[in-house]
Each structure stands twice: as C-alpha cells, then as structure tokens.
Structure 1
Amino acid sequence: MKTNIKLPLTDLEKANLKRNKVKIIEILNYGIDELEVLLNSTTERAKEIYALAEFQTVPSIGIKFAEDLVFLGYYSLNELKNKDGAKLTDEYEQKKGYWVDPCVEDQFRLVVNFSDTKDITRTWWSFTEERKKYRLKEGYPTDRPKKAWHEIIQ
C-alpha cells in the first residue's frame, strides 16, 4: 500500500486522529461510520476523506487528482469500474468549463484500469499512447469547452 497519502484534514480532524491513535495511512482500515466517529465529522466528510485516501492507492495518483474524482461525485474505486476514461474526461471538462491537460485523461484511464484490474504496474503515463490513438480516431465532443486550463488557471 502507498505510504505517502496526503489528506486535506482540518487541525481538529488531525487532533481527533492523534487522540484516537490513528495514522493517516490507517484511514482505509476503517469504515465510513467509524471514520465519522474518529474524526468527529459528518458522514459526508468521512466519506470524502476515505475516498481521497483510497484514490491515492492507485500508482501515480496524488491528492489533486483524487480531489478531481470527488469533484465528479465518485467516492470509491468500485464506482469507477467499467467506466470509460475518455467519457470521464469529457464530463470533467464540461463540469470545469475548460479543457484540461491531456495527461488528465491518462489519469482517468489509469484509475478505471486499476479499478477493473488492480494492476499496480501501470502509471498514468502508461495510457498516453492509448489516449492519443483514441483521440486521433474519435476526436473530442463538439461541445467541448473552448478555453484551455492554462488560460483559466494562473
């Protein structure tokens, strides 16, 4: 298991974990209901924290992309089984309102593949060629946002 999981915990949540002698790496050992008690949080917050930790167990996926998956409404790897990385990218871009760096699609493809296979040997860049071939053949949706991420994010 990945040992460098990062979580956007509040000072109070960190203190609650410390008081309960729970390390961040151990978060996934608990159910959502148990985390709710350990963190003294709402069910939704416990669910979010658990999801952010679980998504970071995928090789080469960090906190920022884990947050993107939660932004799309996903809270477990199981929910991503049999999804389509290209369609997830299209959905993400629509929700964000701008198109993203192509490597983001590679990350979506990786997370879906990992959800389906649990293959720990692949990283997001393992999917670059697959994405390029797909987009060359299929292109992008006609309603894809016109602005790029680098025009929005400074």
Structure 2
Amino acid sequence: MDSEKNFILKEFRTLPGVGKAVAEDLWNLGIRSKQELSFKDPEILYEELCKLQGTRVDRCMLYVFRCAVYVSATELPDPEKMKWWSWKD
C-alpha cells in the first residue's frame, strides 16, 4: 500500500466510529485528510457512497459520517457528540 494512503487511512481511523472499512470508504470518496473531511456535507457523502457501491448503504453510515465531520471540524468536540449513535435522525 502506498505510504501516503496508509498515513491518511491511519489518520481517518483516529475518528470515532471509523475503522478500516470506513477509512477506505472515505479514501474511495476522494477525501485525503481530516481537514478536507471537515468541510464535507455528511448527507452528500452518504449519497455518494451509495452510488459508488451501487446499493443503499446502511443508514448507520450516515450517522458515522455526521460524527466524523463534526469531530474533524471541531477543535474541542463535545464527548457526547463523539458517539456516532448520537447523530441518528
């Protein structure tokens, strides 16, 4: 694996709810840093992932995206908002 990609995937995995598979999803969506992620719309990321995978992805992924974007964009995130399930509809 490319060392730059490996570094970025590790960076993504520091976000709550983001493991290897979700980190790869973020990479496949063209995101290359937590800073870049901080400017993304979680709803659009979710829709793009559904298109990319050719199926309706479990809605929990949207909640993970909401959490990851919030944490990426917030200097001192609220601990309760660092749980993906806090971002349910």
TM-score, normalisation: structure 2:
0.87
Whole-angstrom CA distance in 2 between matches of 1:46 and 1:102 = 31
Within 5 A, what are the aligned runs for 1:104-123? 104-118=61-75, 119=77, 121=79, 122-123=82-83
Q: Deviations over 1:100-132 (max 9, x none)?
A: 00100011111110111042621211101xxx2
The answer to whether residue 49 in structure 2 is matched with residue 99 in structure 1 is no
Is the 1:55–1:66 contact (alpha carbons within 8 Å) kept by the matching residues of 2?
Answer: yes
Runs (4 or more) in structure 1 with deviation over 6 Å come to none
Q: Which amino acid is 2:54 matched to?
A: G
State the distance in 2 between where 1:61 and 1:51 align: 12
Q: Which residue of structure 2 lines up, in the alignment, with residue 67 of structure 1?
A: 24
Letter in 2 for 1:124: W
**1:65-98: per-residue Cα shift (whole Å, max 9, x none)?**
1111011111210111221111110111111111
Structure 1, gaps ≥5 residues long = 1-8, 10-44, 133-154
Q: Distance in 1 between matches of 2:35 and 2:78?
A: 16
| Structure whose alpha-carbon radius of gyration is higher | 1
In 1: Cα distance, 2:86 partner to 2:5 partner: 27
Report the aligned-residue RMSD: 1.5
Q: How much has 1:60 moved relative to structure 2?
A: 2.6
Letter in 1 for 2:17: S
* Alpha-carbon distance in structure 2 between the residues aligned to 1:127 and 1:91: 19
The yes-or-no answer on 1:48 pairing with 2:8 is: no
The normalised TM-score by structure 1 is: 0.52
Equivalent AA in structure 1 for residue 67 of structure 2: L
